[in-house]
């Protein structure tokens, strides 16, 4: 799952080396905290959150097929 | 190896040997002339060889194709992708087993991948390009079922004299319905709301 997020996000940003994903596992859900370079935040969110929505759609689709728990994706600087 | 610097008697000759070294053709490289060279007298005295720097151009289509392939592999779906460029539109057709996971409910995942692929495509391109994704002819099948749905709902609208709202759809899917009912003069179609919740309404005339 972490790898999938990396594969999606890295080609979208100017600073792929600053892409970092933290996994927080809780009882009922797993939260993936995605942080990117300050200048890349806009790139992964996009106009009206279009890009963020697309990333979430793909990630959640895969989560539904493989994970037992509910998955969330948070985007931060 | 992405770039080489070569020398030759003339600029053209220098480029030629660079292309040979990179094993490619003129269309896929960017050439920077460092020194045009000088012929000199009788080609002997005071002559200076031409120096060029030749860089392999990043092909946006190849780059986007690789991106799609990588993402699909991470989703445990083994796909073969065929990419074709027609002007500013680039078609990617995906095929393979378990392709349903890539399409998603009503093409939700496929549309999301399309958005992402378009960004990757334009990341490396100087010209604006549009990505169109299709999986196992899904778009064609969807078009047929949308036309069927449009005709079915149009009959219902005529019969009951009441307007019907459809669920939100992306613009190209709405367009299919609009044009399917353009010639039906007993109903009229229009879209309301803002993206991504914009949806179509079929109303009696």
* pLDDT tens by residue, A29-56: 999 999 999 999 999 999 888 899 999 9
Q: Is the pTM of this model over 0.95?
A: no
Residues of A in contact with B118 (CB under 8 A): none
- Tell me the pLDDT tens digit for each residue of B96-136: 888 888 898 888 999 999 999 999 999 888 889 999 999 98
Complex-level ipTM: 0.92
Fold of B140-204: Ribosomal Protein S8; Chain: A, domain 1 (3.30.1370)
End-to-end CA distance of chain A: 20
- CA-nearest residue to B63 within chain A is A11
As annotated, the residues of chain B forming the CATH 3.30.1370.50 domain(s) are: 140-204
Cα B102 to Cα B27, B66, B94, B132, distances in angstroms: 33, 16, 9, 14
**d(Cα B132, Cα B145) in Å, to the nearest integer?**
19
In CATH, the architecture of B3-56 is: 2-Layer Sandwich (3.30)
CATH 3.30.30 segments of chain B: 3-56
Please measure the distance between the N-terminal and C-terminal CA atoms of chain B and give it in whole angstroms. Answer: 65
Residue of B66, B112, B119, B122 best to disrupt the A interface, most CBs of A under 10 A: B112
- B31 pLDDT higher than 90: no
Q: Report the CATH fold assignment for B60-136.
A: GMP Synthetase; Chain A, domain 3 (3.30.300)
Q: Residues of B with CB below 8 A from A62's CB?
A: 74-76, 101
Binary contact (B116, A51; C-beta < 8 A): yes
Contact A7 B101 (CB under 8 A): no
Cβ of B119 and A12 within 8 Å? yes
Q: Which residue of B has its CA nearest to A14?
A: B123
Question: Chain A to chain B, count of Cβ pairs less than 8 Å apart?
Answer: 59
**Interface contact A12-B195, CB threshold 8 A:** no
Domains detected in chain A: 2-76 (3.30.300.20)
């Amino acid at each position: 799952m972490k790898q999938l997020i990396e594969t999606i996000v890295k080609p979208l940003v100017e600073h792929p080396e600053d892409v970092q994903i933290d996994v927080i596992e809780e009882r009922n859900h797993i939260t993936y905290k995605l942080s990117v370079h300050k200048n890349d935040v806009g790139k992964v969110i996009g106009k009206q959150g279009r890009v963020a929505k697309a990333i979430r759609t793909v990630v959640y689709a895969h989560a539904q097929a493989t994970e037992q728990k509910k998955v969330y994706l948070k985007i931060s600087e | 190896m992405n770039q080489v610097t070569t020398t030759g008697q003339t600029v053209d000759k220098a480029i030629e040997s660079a292309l040979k070294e990179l094993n490619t053709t003129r269309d896929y490289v960017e050439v920077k002339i460092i020194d045009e060279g000088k012929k000199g007298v009788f080609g002997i005295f005071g002559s200076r060889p031409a120096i060029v720097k030749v860089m392999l151009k990043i092909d946006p289509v190849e780059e986007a194709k690789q991106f799609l392939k990588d993402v699909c592999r991470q989703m445990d779906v083994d796909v073969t992708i065929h990419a074709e460029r027609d002007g500013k539109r680039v078609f990617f057709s995906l095929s393979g087993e378990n392709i349903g996971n890539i399409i998603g409910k009503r093409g939700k995942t496929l549309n999301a991948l399309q958005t992402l692929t378009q960004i990757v495509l334009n990341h490396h391109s100087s010209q604006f390009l549009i990505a169109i994704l299709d999986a196992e002819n899904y778009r064609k099948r969807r078009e047929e079922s949308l036309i069927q749905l449009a005709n079915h709902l149009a009959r219902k609208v005529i019969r009951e004299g009441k307007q019907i709202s459809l669920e939100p759809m992306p613009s190209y899917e709405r367009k299919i319905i609009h044009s399917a009912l353009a010639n039906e003069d007993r109903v009229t179609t229009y879209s309301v709301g803002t993206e991504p919740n914009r949806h179509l309404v079929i109303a009696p005339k």
